[in-house]
Structure 1
Amino acid sequence: MVIGPCGAGKSTVSRRLAKLLELPLHHLDRLHWEAGWIEGSQDELRAALAPILAADRWLIDGNYGSTMEARLARADAVIYLDYPTLLCLWRAARRVFEYRGRSRPDMTEGCPERFDYEFFRYIFNWNTGPRVRTEALLQGHETKVLRFGNPTELERWLGKLENET
């Protein structure tokens, strides 16, 4: 599974890893959001995720703390993009401009990219809220966590992985 702050590049890395490792890729944003930015319930998300987790092979990107325990229990490894907040804010802003008015490849069709103040506030506050909860969840599991503090570290690791496969 691939986790980290919004804007870190989870979906981009996941597409690359899924292709490299020949894994079926599932984006939690696609499972959670309906067209028109209608948010599904936590129960609906867990129900949509259950058959994916029951499979032997998968790659799932996204945080969604309400599903973290179930994913950690079945994951072989966690790729944690533990990037600086300012980098994530910059990347999220760049993504808004790149996809403005269109749905991203990892998002439900009918959810066009837009500037959302609350979303950027969530990223800004990652270290004081979501990160604390994520770290606590990770502490309770023995799942292997590969933590990358910047894109260069990740690229080095991906390069090695590409050479091995």
Structure 2
Amino acid sequence: MKRINVIGTSGSGKSHFSYLLAQKLGIQYIEMDALFWLPNWEQLETEEFLSLLKAHLEKEAWVLDGNQSKTNSLKWQYVDTIIWLDYSFFHTFKQILIRSFKRSTSKQEIWAGTGNRESFRRNFLSSESVILWMLQNYWKTKRKYAKLFASESLNGIQLVHLTSPKKAKLFLENA
């Protein structure tokens, strides 16, 4: 495991798990959202984003967290391992509620240099809410990754399916 992509629905804990895994393996951690989001919640243009991502993926070893389907054909040319954090709906929902509440009260900048902060309004009263996104996409994402893991389209890539925080912790301990 030298080039790892951690995937899962919003709120599954991809960033936290990826960071811990990168620390454990002594390799670079790449947060896809940190590359993608600009100040004022603007998004990097697709071609520029893919170019920036490619520059990171060409490095020798890393743990990348993030889904963004538009990046799959690029990132999966490089990965040797895909880890799917596939936790229950209720666990993921609880996790995203807690995270959203903490971020909206702390006002901590999410990605350095962007000034992007989550607010109570954005998280709980907006159509841009990550909670709403999770509710709308949890089952669709689960079906998409179940189909991917059952297919033979990723020959040569190690697939790791972690279905609980307990299994994820055990995986980290043994990495």
The alignment's TM-score, normalised by the length of structure 1, stands at: 0.86
In the alignment, structure 1 residue 113 sits paired with structure 2 residue 127:
no
Residue 109 of structure 2 aligns with an amino acid whose one-letter code is S
Q: Aligned with 1:73: secondary structure?
A: coil
Q: Deviations over 1:3-62 (max 9, x none)?
A: 101111111111111111111111010111001111222222101101111112111101
The ranges of structure 1 where at least 4 consecutive aligned residues each deviate by more than 6 angstroms after the TM superposition are none
- What do residues 64-123 of structure 1 show as CA deviations (whole Å, max 9, x unaligned)? 11002221221111111011122212111111222222223x576311023054422321
Q: Distance in 2 between matches of 1:108 and 1:27?
A: 14
Tell me the amino acid that sits aligned with residue 163 of structure 2.
G
Structure 2 counterpart of 1:15: 19
Counterpart position of 2:76:
72
Paired residue for 2:159, among 139, 145, 149?
145
Kept in 2: contact 1:29–1:108 (CA 8 A): no
Code of the residue aligned with 1:109 in structure 2: it is T
Number of aligned positions between the proteins: 160
Native 8 Å contact 2:36 2:49 kept in 1? yes
Following the alignment from structure 2 to structure 1, what is the Cα–Cα distance between the partners of residues 146 and 59? 26
Percent identity, please: 22
Gaps of 5+ in 1: none
Q: Partner residue of 2:93? A: 89
- Aligned partners of 1:129 and 1:107: how far apart in 2? 31
SS in 2 for 1:145: strand
